[in-house]
Structure 1
Amino acid sequence: MQADTNRFSWFEVPDDIKKLLILAAQTWENTSESEKYIQEALAKTGENTDVLVAAYRFFYYKNNYVLALQTTDKLLDKIKEAEKFPDDWDELQPILVNRQEDPQIRLYLNAYAASGLVLAKLGAIEQATKISARVKEIAQNNDFGAGFLLDILTRPAEEDD
């Protein structure tokens, strides 16, 4: 298969990684083959942020929620380490609120909200609700979709008539 890496000039990874991601997209219908390309891209990049995001999306849309969650966890850990975030939420929250327009913080909040969605898909409703509430509290304009998920997770069951 031909992989034209020039089509994705905005995607800042080496051409060999772009080729792997393109091959994963081109072989989408063959899950085992496409996943092989994603895993190879992850192995070769040392967990590049852009590749982690691409891998998360791949795993999510392939309904492989366990790997999607592992990928978001890696992305969150990578940003946490780079930004030297505290472990305690009460210390972290004001940092996220004050810097929520910073691209790296937006990526962190997106990944954190995504982990809440994946946890909900995996049946960890309490954890998903906690994450969604935290993200909604930070981004009250619902930039990250956490408010919608929180509403779904906490909405009382409708009664059957």
Structure 2
Amino acid sequence: MQTDTQKFSWFNVSDDVKELLILAAQNWENTEISENYMQQALAKTKDNTDVLVAAYRYFYYKNNYPLALTTAEQLIAIIESVEKFPNNWEELKPILVQRHEETQIRLYLNAYAASGLVLAKLGELEKAKEISTRIKDIDDKNDFGAGILLDILTRPPEEDD
């Protein structure tokens, strides 16, 4: 099957990886085939953040939350390594607050917030609350949706009348 990889000229990966991603999308209805293409793309580009974001979205919308979480965590780990972030949240928080408008930091915050959402979907509510609280403390504009998720996770159950 011939695909037009030039449609995604902004996507910073080789044409063969673009083709795999396009084939994954074109075969969306057949999860086994489309996931095979996505896995091939990931195998060829282990640390490419664009491909990891695409894979996260793919797995999330396919309701494959364990793989969505793994992909988000890989993205987080790559950015932590590149940016040489401290392991301690209290040391990291001021860095994120100061630099939250930078592209790489926004990607980190998006991936971290996404991991909280997926953890909630997987029933890991306390971890999801912790992540959502952390992101909400940085995100005064609610750009990353953590405030909404935190509200849902902490809202008291409605009483039945």
Q: TM-score range by the shorter chain?
A: over 0.9
Question: For residues 146 and 113 of structure 1, what CA distance do their matches in structure 2 show?
Answer: 6
> Is 1:95 equivalent to 2:95 in the alignment?
yes
CA distance in 1, matches of 2:108, 2:18: 23
TM-score between the two structures when normalised by the length of structure 2: 0.99
- Per the TM alignment, residue 47 of structure 1 is displaced from its structure 2 partner at its CA by 2.5
1:68 aligns with 2:82: no
Instruction: Choose 128-137 or 38-47, whichever is displaced more.
Output: 38-47
For 2:55 and 2:46, how far apart are their aligned partners in 1? 13
Instruction: Name whichever of 16-25 and 46-55 sits farther off.
Output: 46-55
* Stretches of structure 2 lacking an aligned partner (at least 5 in a row): none
Partner of 1:132: 132
1:140 Cα deviation from its structure 2 partner: 1.4
Aligned partner letter, 2:92: L
Q: Which residue of 2 aligns with 1:16?
A: 16
Matched, 1:30 2:30: yes
The Cα of 1:71 is off from its aligned counterpart by: 0.3
Cα-to-partner distance string for 1:103-144 (whole Å, 9 max, x where unaligned): 000000000000000000000000000000100000111010
SS at match of 1:21: helix
**In the comparison of the two structures, how many residue pairs are matched?**
161
Aligned mates of 1:78, 1:155 — CA distance in 2: 33
> 2:45 — aligned with what?
45
RMSD: 0.6
CA distance in 2, matches of 1:89, 1:46: 26
Instruction: Please name the residue that 2:115 is paired with.
Output: 115
Q: Give aligned-pair identity as a percent.
A: 70
Structure 1's unaligned 5+ residue stretches are: none
Q: Does 1:82 align with 2:73?
A: no
Q: List structure 1 runs of 4+ shifted beyond 6 angstroms.
A: none
Cα drift, residue 72 of structure 1: 0.5
SS of the counterpart of 1:63? Answer: coil
* CA deviation vs aligned residue, 1:33-80 (integer Å, no higher than 9, x gap): 100011000100122100000000000000000000000000000000
| Separation in 1, partners of 2:99, 2:9 | 28
